[in-house]
C-alpha cells in the first residue's frame, strides 16, 4: 500500500509518500524523516532567531556545522558563476521586499569569507539568505534518510521542491504563471528532482514586486536535475540570467533540463525537457 504523511515545514507543508510499503513499516520511518526535517530547518531558517544561520548573521563570525558550511559553499559557487546576479548576501533586501518595502544595500557575496569551518561576514549589510538552495538540500537529505531506512519507492515534496526515487513514474504539472487554476505543461518524473521559480509564487503587491531580485525576461522557470538542491538553486540562477547568458549556461550543462516562460508567455524548452 501507499503511505503518506503531510506536516508543516519550511514555511509551508512537506509531503512524504512511501509507495508499495506496509503502513506499520513506512509510517514510523516517515515520522522520523519529518523529525530530521525539523532539525535541518533549524539550521537554515532565516526567520528563526535560534537557527544556526541566524546565529551566524548575528555574530558575524562563527564556526559552523558541516551542513551549513556545505550549503553556503555551494551557494557561493553559483554566486561566482553568475558574477553576482545570484547573491545570497542580500537577505536584508529580501526581508524588506516581503514587507512591501525597497531598500539599498552595499554588499555582495564577496563579503562572505570561509576559512576552514569558520564563516565571516565582512560587511555590516550582509545578511545571508539560503531560501533559494536550503530547501532543496533538505529534501535531498530526507530522501537519503528514507532510502537508508529501507523505503525503496517514494516522494518528498516541500512546496514544489520535489524529488521522486525508485521505480515510480510521477505525473507532474507546471502551473500557468498567469492562471492559478491552469496547467501550462505536464510531464512524467522518475528518479529525478524538480523545482520551479516564478514571479507569481510570492509576489507582494504586483508581479514585478516578487521575492526574486534582479530578474530578467522570465516569469517562470522549471528545472529537472539529479538532486533537489541543484534543481532548487538553478531555478533562481536560470531566472536571473539574461537570454544569451542562459543559453550559454545551459549549453555547458546538458544534464539540466529547463522549461521557461517569458513575459510574453512564450515557452522555451532546453536540453530536451520532457
Place of cell 491552469: 182
pLDDT grade for 11, boundaries at 50, 70 and 90: confident
**pTM of the predicted model, to two decimals?**
0.91
Q: Select from 3.40.50.720, 3.30.465.10, 3.10.520.10, 3.40.50.300 the CATH code of 169-270.
A: 3.10.520.10
- Is the pLDDT assigned to residue 201 strictly greater than 60? no
Could you give the dihedral angle defined by the CA atoms of residues 59, 61, 64 and 67, in that order, rounded to the nearest 10 degrees?
90
| CA–CA separation, 93 and 195 (whole Å) | 23
Whole-number average pLDDT of the chain: 91
Domain boundaries, the chain: 1-46+131-163, 60-121, 169-270
Task: Report helix, strand or coil for 116.
Answer: coil
* Tens of pLDDT, residues 213-255: 555 688 899 999 999 999 999 999 998 888 899 999 999 989 8
Backbone angles phi, psi at 111, to 5 degrees: -90, 10
Amino acid at each position: 500500500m501507499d503511505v503518506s504523511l503531510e506536516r508543516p515545514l519550511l514555511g509551508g507543508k512537506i509531503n512524504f509518500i512511501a509507495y508499495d510499503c506496509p503502513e506499520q513499516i513506512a509510517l514510523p520511518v516517515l515520522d522520523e524523516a519529518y523529525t530530521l526535517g525539523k532539525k535541518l530547518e533549524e539550521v537554515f531558517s532565516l526567520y528563526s532567531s535560534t537557527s544556526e544561520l541566524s546565529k551566524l548573521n548575528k555574530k558575524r563570525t562563527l564556526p559552523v556545522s558541516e551542513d551549513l558550511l556545505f550549503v553556503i559553499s555551494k551557494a557561493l559557487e553559483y554566486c561566482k558563476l553568475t558574477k553576482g546576479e545570484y547573491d545570497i548576501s542580500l537577505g536584508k533586501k529580501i526581508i524588506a521586499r516581503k514587507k512591501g518595502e525597497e531598500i539599498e544595500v552595499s554588499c555582495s557575496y564577496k563579503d562572505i569569507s570561509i576559512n576552514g569551518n569558520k564563516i565571516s561576514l565582512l560587511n555590516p549589510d550582509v545578511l545571508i539568505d539560503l531560501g533559494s538552495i536550503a530547501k532543496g538540500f533538505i529534501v535531498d537529505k530526507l530522501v537519503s534518510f528514507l532510502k537508508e531506512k529501507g523505503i525503496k519507492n517514494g516522494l518528498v515534496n516541500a512546496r514544489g521542491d520535489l524529488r521522486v526515487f525508485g521505480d515510480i513514474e510521477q505525473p507532474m504539472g507546471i502551473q500557468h504563471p498567469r492562471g492559478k487554476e491552469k496547467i501550462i505543461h505536464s510531464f512524467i518524473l522518475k528518479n529525478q528532482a524538480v523545482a520551479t521559480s516564478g514571479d507569481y509564487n510570492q509576489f507582494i503587491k504586483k508581479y514585478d514586486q516578487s521575492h526574486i531580485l534582479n530578474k530578467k525576461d522570465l516569469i517562470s522557470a522549471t528545472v529537472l536535475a539529479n538532486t533537489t538542491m541543484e534543481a532548487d538553486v538553478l531555478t533562481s540562477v536560470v531566472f536571473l540570467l539574461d537570454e544569451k547568458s542562459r543559453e550559454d549556461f545551459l549549453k555547458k550543462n546538458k544534464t539540466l533540463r529547463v522549461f521557461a516562460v517569458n513575459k510574453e508567455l512564450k515557452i522555451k524548452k532546453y536540453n530536451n525537457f520532457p
